[in-house]
Amino acid sequence: MTSAVKVVSRLKPSLPEFHTRQMRKEFYTKFCHLPVSATGNTVPPHILRAIYRELTLDATADQNKALDERVRQALLAEDSDLVTDLRHINPGRPGDTFNDFFENLHQKVEQMVAADERRHNVEHMATYLSVRDLKEQVEKDLEPGSAIPSESSILYAFVPKNSHANTAKLYKSKIPLQFKIQTRQLRVSHQDDHYCSAVFKYIRQFAIKFRDCCKLLCIDDKAKIDYGEPGMAVSSGVRGKKSIVPSNVSLSALDHDLQTKGSVTPSVSLDVSIPESIDDTFYRGKVSVIYKDSIFMPSSPWRHATEICQMLQASGEVPPLVILFSDGGPDHRITYHAVKLSLIVMFKKLDLDMLVAGRTAPGNSWVNPAERIMSLLNIAAQNVAFTRSEMNSEMEQIIKSANSMSEIRSKAEKNPRLKTSWIESVQTVIDILIERTKRVALKAVPFDCPTPSDLADVKAFEHLVKEMVDGTLQQGQYQEKHVSKKADYMKFLEDHCRQRAYMFQIRKCQNINCCRPSRSGITFPWVPDPMMQVDKNHYEPFEKVLGTDTNESDKPSAKNTKTSVVAEQMQGIRNAGLVGQNVRRTVACYECGKPRCIYAKKSLTSREARTLNRMLEKLDYTCVCIIVPEDDTLHGIVHTRLQMDCRTPVEFSYYADNTPIRLQKDICCYCASPNSEKDAEELAKFKVVLPICNDCKNSGKPIIKRNPKKN
């Protein structure tokens, strides 16, 4: 027998051993419930692991390295006191510590779960913006000194979104709340991306250089927020983040295709806390959000300038240097004379030593720090459905037949009481937005919601253009054809301004008969234009070009001779496809008033036509603009010709006989004046001759024609 044991001992190290996870699992399952004492205590897991390892020579990795090593030491030393389980003396947190908090929260949740008039368990608004906000809202209703759980404790009291996930075991399902979501986002490239990034860097370095007497404002308009008619809650359209709602309701709203009569426009301004170094962040400062009714308080350069002046004056002493940076939308496009004039009036009214206005490249609004504010502002407006309050029966009957903003405005001209009633009706939506917005903060600085400027203040501000700039300017007539011969205005631009595609600068001159004395005592230099280094890969440092005579010669779009290639790339279709038979409708340019054709390869469906109508109703179109953003449902379906600006005549496609929509074909191709005629002599020589009015013809503009007739 002894010899047999010796043989087995010698062979045992060379024999293969087989262990599976199932074998180990079955061992634990069989013996983990066996009581080891009269108290009923079972075998601890670490003891079972040690037994299994010793009996089977299992060499898998330790599950709890420190504890398993202590067990091995206890076995080798034959001293069980080396391993002591102290968990039985830890009673844990008393279960009723936060009872008051969770009972109060439970009552609030029950109040939130209200039945919709058409569906039950439908919530139109996310009451809480975040777990932190939930904690603060519940804490307000508790007695002082009540026990308040941490944010993580509140979170794990929620219902798990996926009960089968491994993390679901952390949730207690104590409160019927969970995160639910509604999503979308975009970016477009442009050949001037790098150039505009250099422009913005120069502007920031300029602000840092004069930070003691400078204010940098980043401004932008957020997408309009829709609201429904009384009793019909329409989604705000903001999704992308989960919201806290009761677990037994669905977060929903009416279909987004529902026609809405109005909207609310949020104007965002970030008063940047200018850092000491260009490497530090510019995403700091005070955020102001102004909510305006889009129908009777439409955005315009004059309204923006009026509200900026009021905010600067309300903040205390106005600094001598003000810098504005925007995405270059129609109300901020510094190449438009209406925008230039509004900035000049602001410059003179605030008695600034210098004003700098910059903008991003087309489609690159994400560069603007104010655009990053939108993600925070979305917290207040996300997953919410709004409805305006009901007016009296007479006003509701008048508004019933109006299906667009322009129709509501025209009805308000006939019935002045309609405007007041409408603004009071919409104020309910604005009050909710203001209350929710003030609960949002940027780096612990709460958002502010100033009151929008009255229409009388805006008109008074615009009227100053005749007093401060040029007395011959006509209010509302700010196109190139109207201002090109205004001598005082043109002289001011020449003496006090520096005009660029992406920057517009105004500063005082040294003539005391023209400008007031400098408030800062500093002669500010122009913000320089980016100039390429010798290697043509990078732009010169700011310090090297500051104070030198620079120009736009290194702007890519100025050097690109093949504009058609760039236009086709941006518009998403070749110019050969933009023909008369593909014209589906027209849109008038906000700046020049000329009709521009909207093309589509196929006829638009009823849903696509409704979507296009709503978009054109809410947004102002200008020449050279992309008609729909990249993330829109109509992107790639409808197009406009980008290879033209406000100086470009009306397209040939507009006058084509095969245009499938009815158009007024007798308008002047230069100024869009009606009742214009085609030249009879040219018509005898060419197949296609565009109409021209007498004023344009007498001013020497050529007659546009093509396709000569063969004899």
Instruction: CATH number of the domain at 453, please.
Output: 3.30.420.10
Distances (CA, A) of 19 to 43, 58, 65, 704: 22, 7, 20, 90
Alpha carbon distance, N-terminus to C-terminus of the chain: 126
Distances (CA, A) of 176 to 114, 150, 157, 316, 457: 14, 18, 8, 48, 50
Q: How many CB atoms lie within 10 A of CB 387?
A: 19
Identify the weakest region by mean pLDDT among 82-91, 120-129, 479-488.
120-129
Same domain, 269 and 287: yes
Same domain, 426 and 473: yes
* Higher per-residue confidence, 184 vs 492: 492
- Tell me whether residue 66 is in a domain: yes
Q: What is the pLDDT of residues 412-435, one digit of tens each?
A: 888 888 988 999 999 999 999 999
Whole-number pLDDT of residue 92: 59
Name the residue among 530, 572, 526 with its Cα closest to residue 194.
530
> How far, in Å, CA of 292 to CA of 270, rounded?
18
Residue that terminates a domain, selected from 68, 89, 110: 89
Same domain, 642 and 683: no
Same domain, 618 and 602: yes
Same domain, 676 and 658: no
- Tell me whether residue 637 is in a domain: yes
Same domain, 295 and 382: yes
The two three-digit tokens of residue 212, written as one number: 């003691």
pTM of the model: 0.61
Residue that terminates a domain, selected from 478, 507, 536: 507
Task: Using DSSP bridges, classify how beta strands 686-689 and 638-639 pair: parallel, antiparallel or unpaired.
Answer: unpaired
* Higher per-residue confidence, 48 vs 214: 214
* Higher per-residue confidence, 185 vs 132: 132
Distances (CA, A) of 276 to 210, 211, 273, 320: 10, 8, 10, 19
Whole-number pLDDT of residue 118: 38
Identify the weakest region by mean pLDDT among 127-131, 531-535, 569-573.
569-573
> How far, in Å, CA of 591 to CA of 589, rounded?
5
Whole-number pLDDT of residue 256: 47
Token look-up 């315009």 returns 300
Same domain, 457 and 599: no
**Type of residue at 235:** S
**Type of residue at 227:** Y
Over the chain, what is the mean pLDDT? Answer: 81
The two three-digit tokens of residue 58, written as one number: 């299992």
**Type of residue at 325:** F
Residues in CB range of 46: below 8 A, 6 or more apart: 64, 67, 68, 71, 83
- Tell me whether residue 4 is in a domain: no
* Higher per-residue confidence, 556 vs 93: 556
User: What share of the chain in percent tops pLDDT 70?
Assistant: 84
- Tell me whether residue 656 is in a domain: yes
Is 281 strand, coil or helix?
coil
Same domain, 656 and 675: no
Name the residue range of residue 78's domain.
Answer: 20-89
Whether the per-residue pLDDT at 183 is higher than 50: the answer is no
Identify the weakest region by mean pLDDT among 66-70, 181-185, 503-507, 544-548.
181-185
- Tell me whether residue 570 is in a domain: yes
Q: Which of 158-172, 234-248, 440-454 has the highest mean pLDDT?
A: 440-454
Same domain, 687 and 619: no
Same domain, 645 and 675: no
Name the residue among 636, 623, 569, 568 with its Cα closest to residue 597.
623
Whether the per-residue pLDDT at 351 is higher than 80: the answer is yes
- Tell me whether residue 117 is in a domain: no
> How far, in Å, CA of 423 to CA of 47, rounded?
74
- Tell me whether residue 555 is in a domain: no
Total structural domains within the chain: 4
Whole-number pLDDT of residue 81: 67
Whole-number pLDDT of residue 700: 83
Residue that terminates a domain, selected from 35, 70, 89: 89
Same domain, 344 and 451: yes
User: What share of the chain in percent tops pLDDT 90?
Assistant: 23
Q: Which of 14-18, 188-192, 692-696 has the highest mean pLDDT?
A: 692-696
- Tell me whether residue 675 is in a domain: yes
* Higher per-residue confidence, 496 vs 159: 496
Is 595 strand, coil or helix?
strand
Q: What is the pLDDT of residues 609-621, one digit of tens each?
A: 888 887 887 777 8
Same domain, 611 and 708: no
Task: Using DSSP bridges, classify how beta strands 595-600 and 583-588 pair: parallel, antiparallel or unpaired.
Answer: antiparallel
